[in-house]
Amino acid sequence: MQKLCILGSTGSIGVSTLDVVARHPDRYQVFALTAHSQVEKLALQCEQFNPQIAVVGSAKAASELQRLLLGKNLKTEVSYGSQALCDVASSVDCDTVMAAIVGAAGLPASLAAARAGKKVLLANKEALVMSGQIFINTVRDSGATLLPIDSEHNAIFQCLPHNYNRHPSEYGISKIILTASGGPFLNRNLESLSDVTPDEAVAHPNWVMGRKISIDSATMMNKGLEVIEAHWLFATPAEQIEVLIHPQSVIHSMVSYNDGSVLAQMGNPDMRTPIAYGLAYPERIASGVAPLDLVKIAKLHFEAPDFKRFPCLDLAYAALKAGQTASTILNASNEVAVQAFLDGKIGFRMIDQIIARVLDKIALSSADDIESILECDKETRVITQALLAS
Ligand code: NAD
Ligand code: MG
């Protein structure tokens, strides 16, 4: 019986994870569930899975959850705050942690799981983008198992050799090809992009996801973050990571080898496939995802990305190449700018412009420890907010 901690259980990834878990009660037991503020949704999840601990974001949310669980005859203890998230993620009572909190807020708990040597199912790409080498070193030193849940990275993981030891050249790997749907604005008139609304931007053609990652998909910053994520996960230089537009999202990514072979992983666009893969690895279990009907799909389309339409992609490659804290700054300024767009404070095209200005403004530093990373994240947020207010 694998004991699970699901960080961000009320989100899109959290809900899909519980859907897969519910199909296999003989394999998985839920130790902890966590949510920031969606207390009612979390209460329903507690009723269904009866976890030992439920963690929320504030004392107020905790007493609300306690009230909702009263008289339900559950074993669930309620706790709150960021230390409580780290405690459940590193508890001796859990083996596997689904890291599915969105944004930088997920870093401390994701890292705590890695430090404690857990099997870490990483959806929270921002944690890895922010802390790169520190995260990877932590996994190496603790003996944790890091399994990518992001569909592209899960696909690449499946297409790499089983004994892959982070040296692409030793395995004849010439390139990693990250596929991208291009989001809702792939073919939209460029001039009209300044006027798009948050509702138009979150309406992704193939995937149903949280609001932040949906905006990141519309700007293609999501793919930019994924380039950086792929660099750290698979020890591949930026030059060997290519982005390919594939609007149908059937091929989730590919690995190209020097003998001319290109291995691809395919499937319907449904996050339960990579989640089930991560949960059961190295076995395979049913995920509830419908089988792929290639006759119905009939044609697969590919094209090169237009870096002028998607400047965020360029900014991410540049940040990866610049090294040091550039990716931390990129991630933090993006989070602030995306929130400002969602709140109706700035237009869509302002997102990339703000990030570019912030990257120009802050001097890069080496940041060898997590405290410096968190400090850089904080400083970037202050500077981005000041730019937004000016
Ligand atoms: P979401 O917005 O649907 O859910 C986010 C979860 O994080 C919620 O449970 C929320 O309660 C929790 N949370 C938010 N802020 C928090 C805070 N400050 N402290 C603690 N918890 C907090 O997001 P999502 O779409 O499920 O994405 C989660 C992560 O997975 C992101 O990093 C995203 O990039 C990644 N991801 C998502 C998908 C997808 O299909 N949704 C695909 C690939 C990767
Ligand atoms: Mg992805």
Give pLDDT tens digits for 79-88.
Answer: 999 999 999 9
Is the distance from the beta carbon of residue 269 to the nearest atom of ligand 1 less than 6 Å? Answer: no
**pTM strictly above 0.95:** yes
In this prediction, residue 175 carries a pLDDT of 97
For residue 178, the model assigns a pLDDT of 98
Mean pLDDT score of the chain, rounded to an integer? Answer: 97
Average pLDDT over residues 352-373: 95
Quick one: which of 19, 145, 11, 32 has its CA closest to 79? Answer: 32
Report how far ligand 2's centroid is from the alpha carbon of 250 (Å): 12
Produce one character per residue of 17-32: b if its CB has 16 or more CB atoms within 10 Å, e if not: bbbbbeeeeeebbbbb
- pLDDT > 70: what percent of the chain? 100
Q: What tokens were used for 33?
A: 């569930």
Q: Looking at ligand 1, which atom is closest to the CA of residue 13?
A: 26
CB 64 within 8 Å of CB 87: no
8 Å CB contact between 118 and 97: yes
- Among the bound ligands, the one closest to the CA of 220: 2
Q: How confident is the model at residue 208 (pLDDT cuts 50, 70, 90)?
A: confident
Residue-wise pLDDT tens digits, 372-386: 999 999 999 999 999
Fold of 323-390: Rna Polymerase Sigma Factor; Chain: A (1.10.1740)
* CB-based contact 204:183 (threshold 8 Å): yes
pLDDT at 329: 98
Q: How confident is the model at residue 289 (pLDDT cuts 50, 70, 90)?
A: very high
CATH class for the domain made up of 2-148: alpha beta
Ligand 2 center to 256 CA (angstroms): 19
d(C-alpha 262, C-alpha 273), whole Å: 21
Q: Where in the chain is the domain with CATH 1.10.1740.10?
A: 323-390
**pLDDT of 165 over the 90 cut:** no
Please report the pLDDT score of residue 353 as a whole number.
Answer: 97
Instruction: Give the pLDDT confidence score for residue 205 in this predicted structure.
Output: 84
216 CB within 6 A, ligand 1: no
d(CA 313, CA 311): 5
Q: For ligand 1, is residue 213 a contact (CB within 6 Å)? A: yes
12-65 residue pLDDT tens: 999 999 999 999 999 999 999 999 999 999 999 999 999 999 999 999 999 999
**Structure tokens given for 342:** 């969602």
Residue 207 has pLDDT above 90, yes or no: no
The whole-number pLDDT of residue 390 equals 86
The stretch 102-106 carries a mean pLDDT of: 97
Residue spans in the chain of domains classed CATH 3.40.50.720: 2-148
CA of 152 to the centre of ligand 2 (A): 5
Question: Ligand 1 centre from 103 Cα, in Å?
Answer: 7
Would you place residue 239 in the very low, low, confident or very high pLDDT band (cuts 50, 70, 90)? Answer: very high
8 lines ligand 1 (CB under 6 A): yes
The percentage of the chain sitting over the pLDDT mark of 90, rounded to a whole number, equals 95
Q: What is the pLDDT of residue 212?
A: 96
